[in-house]
Amino acid sequence: MQVGLIIVGDEILSGKRRDSHLAKFIELLAERGMQLSWAQYLGDDRELLTARLREAFASGQLVVSCGGIGATPDDHTRQAAAAALDRPLALHPEARELIWLRIQQMAAEQGKTVTADEPDSVRRFEMGVFPEGAGIIPNPYNKIPGFFVGNVHFVPGFPVMAHPMMAWVLDRYPQLHRQVGVLERSLIVQGAMEASLTPLMESVESGFPGIKVFSLPSVDHPQWGRCIELGVKGDAEQMEAAYGALKQGVIQFGATISTEMVR
């Protein structure tokens, strides 16, 4: 199953806020021996979100969407998810109870009393309105939950909330977790052009199913200058053999290996 990340928010695309979700999600995946397959940044555009989410629901992939699930006019993710599923929105009963607990807690902290039918409470309950049939994602920070339908999951944009909720989502899929070990081996190559090494890369990748070969050229690396980081990643059982074949191919080519790295 591929794993994808959608990050929603005009503030990210405009540069008003810097994204921290991508790096954190990659870290959480790595802790479970998993890898990210793709990521998308999308603005607060309901039609665009609906189209992308329709694709996500149809894909069968594990997808996490961050942002846009609030109840203000610039939040469109909940409505887009419902439109993508062709389902009505409905107040989730468990989400309502969690939001009500949060409302009461905040009122008590301020020394106030509150009722469930006053306008502020009713507006806050909107944050528990999800596509019909959705499950909820617990929010350890302030109890306001996210939601999921199938393999597509929706969490808030606030990192302090979103990141533990992402971890909860990944732990729904223990069958995708792998023993954490060496996921990547590479070497720094000097004295060769990337195009010249392409046949070697193709040979290693075709000879070891489950292994991906990667090439990251640099023209001004601060330590090695003009070089190529050439490596393999993927199936741990084939890692050493694939890396050995890659290294031997570089040596036979006559290039210089400056250093080797394990991640």
Q: What is the pLDDT of residues 80-116, one digit of tens each?
A: 999 999 999 999 999 999 999 999 999 999 999 999 9
Say if residue 152 is exposed, middle or buried (CB neighbours under 10 Å; 0-12, 13-18, 19+).
buried
pLDDT, averaged across the chain: 94
Pick the CATH number of 184-262 from 3.30.70.1530, 3.30.1330.10, 3.30.70.2860, 3.40.50.12780: 3.30.70.2860
Model confidence at 16, in pLDDT bands (50, 70, 90)?
very high
Q: At what angle do helices 77-85 and 46-59 cross, to 10 degrees?
A: 50
pLDDT of residue 182: 55
Whether the predicted pLDDT of 236 surpasses 90: no
| pLDDT exceeds 90 at position 47 | yes
Q: Which residues contact 22 (CB under 8 A, 6 or more apart)?
A: 5, 7, 39
- CA 23 to CA 39: how far, in whole Å? 11
Assessment of whether the complete model's pTM goes beyond 0.85: no
Q: Domain ranges in the chain?
A: 3-176, 184-262
CA distances from 204 to 194, 197, 217, 243 (A): 15, 11, 18, 8
pLDDT one-digit tens code per residue, 156-201:
999 999 999 999 999 999 999 987 655 789 999 999 999 999 999 9
- Scanning the structure block, which residue is given the tokens 């720094």? 188
With residues binned 3-state (H G I as helix, E B as strand, rest as coil), the percentages for the chain, rounded to 5, are 45, 25, 30
Q: Which CATH number fits domain 3-176: 3.40.980.10, 3.40.50.2000, 3.40.720.10, 3.30.420.40?
A: 3.40.980.10
